[in-house]
């Protein structure tokens, strides 16, 4: 039996709802076909934005959406994506598949999408191939109500009042596709660009520096040393890749037990990555004013056979659900530093929560994990300690149970996953004298998935019993994720 001990009087603070955020890039079928089908599409839509996808994102209370990239962001010129859709400039998406980008989805369409979903926008500004002026005017276009030429254009394009976009990323992966800069050089570039992130009225931009590729701690060290005083957040990207190289990442669906545990073990590296970045940041920012923004995370497998290699379309199994469960618990545990995270990418790309094919839509196992975890959004973190055995193979071993907890409106929510793909685990939750408890779960074979012809995976009720001491008892089936609510 595994024991989850809760200490409600010990907390790392509030869990920012934006930890449950998403990322949508002009990549493959994420924007076009995934989120946006155009206003003449027979697929149910509002001003071109798919209604089924909007409804699904509303249901999990997607709090924030990052756009337009990714690597695409550093080649994106926002002025090409405003004005009448039919006369917008066309470009070739050199990063992703060499397809034509007609810019029919631009700033107004993205803001419309965010308003329909009810989430905050997070813009990634072009630093790699864009000018300071271009970025500054994008902020002005979105956030100013002054009578400037830039604002007049916005009004001519149908938007009277400023949207008030808060989150601004200053470049993306500036060490790589965003310009191949050295940390020392980018620190100065960052200082310059952020100077022109002007405040209009109450709309002060929250400036997020382009961060490291997970294991590059030097990048974070230099950025914090040189620019911590003029940033609000710094990002970090980490993808869980099962294979040993980017050329052979392995199949998303056809994998062995060995691959399963290897993937989970690699997902656990997020713990080390966040702890190390936090330790560096704390040397320069002991008050934890600067937030860590994990604005790209998730699994990255080989594309589905027969699909465009530049579109990064992969299926999603219970293995992905386990990666999500591990990672979100880690974020909760680091909520004093991690203020936002954005799963890559919302629809049809990498570890998507939603897949579409024509008018059909599938909710992936990862979607259901986001659903099970949503009570943590803006809740007060509760410290927990898990006593558990291990699961795995000789080469790849993981803790069998992962968990985190929070408290909101008098109820304590525990999210826990049984990573063992072969055996169930009994759980005792202690430390909060509960009067009653209820639970929901997602469970299945490690290779199980939802697809367009059949979606066997959905959230099911899970039996939970409370004893006379207020401890809760339940059994987590093999390869399962659960939300347990204690009152």
Closer to ligand AHR by CB, 105 or 141: give it. Answer: 105
Binding-residue pattern over the window 320 to 359 for ligand AHR, x denoting contact by CB under 6 A: ------------------------xx----x---------
Contact between 172 and ligand AHR per CB under 6 A:
yes
Contact between 486 and ligand AHR per CB under 6 A:
no
Contact between 210 and ligand AHR per CB under 6 A:
no
- Helix locations, 402-475, DSSP H: none
Burial class (CB in 10 A: 0-12, 13-18, 19+), 225: middle
Burial class (CB in 10 A: 0-12, 13-18, 19+), 380: middle
> Is 62 in a helix, a strand, or coil?
coil
Helix axes 217-227, 269-284, angle to 10 degrees: 20
Strand order across the 472-476 sheet: 460-462, 437-443, 480-486, 411-418, 401-408, 380-387, 2-7, 425-430, 472-476, 464-466
Which residue in 25, 120, 173, 483 is the catalytic one? 173
Binders in 277-296 for ligand AHR, by CB under 6 A: 296
Q: Identify whether the C-beta of residue 304 lies closer than 8 Å to the C-beta of residue 258.
A: no
Closer to ligand AHR by CB, 74 or 471: give it. Answer: 74
Give the list of residues 6+ apart from residue 160 with CB closer than 8 angstroms, or none. none
Binders in 294-313 for ligand AHR, by CB under 6 A: 296
Which residue in 25, 101, 140, 296 is the catalytic one? 296
Closer to ligand AHR by CB, 293 or 446: give it. Answer: 293
Annotation says 296 is catalytic: yes
Annotation says 173 is catalytic: yes
**Contact residue for ligand AHR among 19, 24, 25, 260 (CB under 6 A):** 25
Place of tokens 């520096």: 209
CB of 193 to ligand AHR, least distance (A): 18
d(CA 325, CA 304): 23
Closer to ligand AHR by CB, 210 or 388: give it. Answer: 210
What is the sign, positive or negative, of the torsion defined by CA atoms of 208, 383, 327, 347? negative
Please give the helix or strand (H or E) that residue 222 lies within, else none. helix 217-227
CB of 309 to ligand AHR, least distance (A): 13
Closer to ligand AHR by CB, 68 or 121: give it. Answer: 68
Please give the residue whose beta carbon sits closest to ligand AHR in the complex: 70
Binders in 38-97 for ligand AHR, by CB under 6 A: 69-71
- Among 294, 295, 293, 298, which Cα is nearest to 241's? 298
d(CA 302, CA 313): 8
Is the bond preceding residue 70 a cis peptide, omega within 30 degrees?
yes
Cα radius of gyration (the chain): 22
Closer to ligand AHR by CB, 324 or 344: give it. Answer: 344
227 DSSP assignment: H
- Please work out the total of residues on this chain that contact ligand AHR, with binding judged by CB under 6 A: 10
Catalytic residues: 173, 296
Footprint of ligand AHR on this chain (CB under 6 A)? Answer: 25, 69-71, 172-173, 296, 344-345, 350
């Amino acid at each position: 039996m595994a024991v989850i001990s809760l200490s409600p009087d010990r907390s790392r603070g509030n869990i920012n709802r934006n930890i449950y955020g998403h990322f949508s890039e002009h990549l493959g079928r994420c924007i076009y076909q995934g989120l946006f089908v155009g206003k003449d599409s027979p697929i149910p839509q509002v001003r071109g934005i798919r209604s089924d996808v909007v409804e699904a994102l509303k249901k999990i209370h997607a709090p924030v959406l990052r756009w337009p990239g990714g690597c695409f962001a550093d080649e994106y010129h926002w002025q090409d994506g405003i004005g009448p859709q039919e006369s917008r400039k066309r470009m070739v998406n050199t990063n992703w598949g060499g397809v034509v980008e007609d810019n029919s989805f631009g700033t107004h369409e993205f803001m419309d999408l965010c308003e329909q979903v009810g989430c905050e926008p997070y813009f990634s500004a072009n630093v790699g191939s864009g000018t300071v002026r271009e970025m500054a005017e994008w902020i002005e276009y979105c956030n100013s109500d002054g009578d400037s030429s830039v604002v007049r254009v916005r009004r001519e394009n149908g938007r009277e009042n400023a949207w008030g976009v808060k989150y601004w990323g200053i470049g993306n992966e500036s060490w790589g596709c965003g310009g191949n800069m050295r940390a020392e050089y980018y620190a100065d570039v960052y200082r310059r660009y952020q100077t022109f992130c002007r405040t209009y009225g109450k709309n002060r931009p929250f400036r997020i520096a382009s961060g490291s590729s997970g294991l590059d701690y030097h990048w974070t060290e230099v950025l914090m040393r040189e620019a911590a005083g003029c940033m609000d957040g710094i990002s970090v990207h980490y993808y869980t890749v099962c294979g040993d190289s980017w050329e052979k990442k392995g199949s998303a669906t056809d994998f062995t037990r060995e691959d399963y545990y290897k993937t989970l073990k690699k997902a656990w590296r997020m713990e080390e990555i966040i702890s190390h970045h936090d330790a560096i940041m704390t040397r320069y920012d002991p008050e934890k004013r600067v937030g860590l923004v994990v604005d790209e995370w998730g699994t990255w497998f080989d594309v589905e056979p027969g699909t465009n290699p530049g579109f990064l379309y992969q299926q999603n199994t219970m293995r992905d659900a386990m990666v999500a469960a591990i990672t979100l618990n880690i974020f909760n545990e680091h909520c004093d530093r991690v203020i936002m995270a954005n799963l890559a990418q919302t629809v049809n790309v990498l570890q998507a929560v939603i897949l579409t094919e024509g008018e059909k839509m599938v909710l992936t196992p990862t979607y259901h994990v986001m659903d099970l975890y949503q009570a943590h959004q803006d809740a007060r973190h509760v410290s927990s300690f898990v006593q558990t055995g291990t699961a795995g193979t000789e080469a790849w071993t993981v803790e069998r149970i992962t968990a985190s907890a929070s408290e909101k409106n008098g109820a304590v929510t525990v999210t826990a996953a049984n990573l063992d793909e072969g055996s169930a685990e009994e759980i005792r939750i202690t430390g909060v004298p509960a009067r009653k408890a209820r639970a929901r779960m997602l469970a299945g074979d490690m290779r199980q998935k939802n697809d367009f012809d059949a979606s066997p995976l959905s959230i099911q009720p899970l039996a939970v019993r409370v004893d006379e001491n207020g401890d809760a008892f339940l059994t987590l089936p093999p390869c399962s994720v659960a939300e347990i609510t204690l009152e």
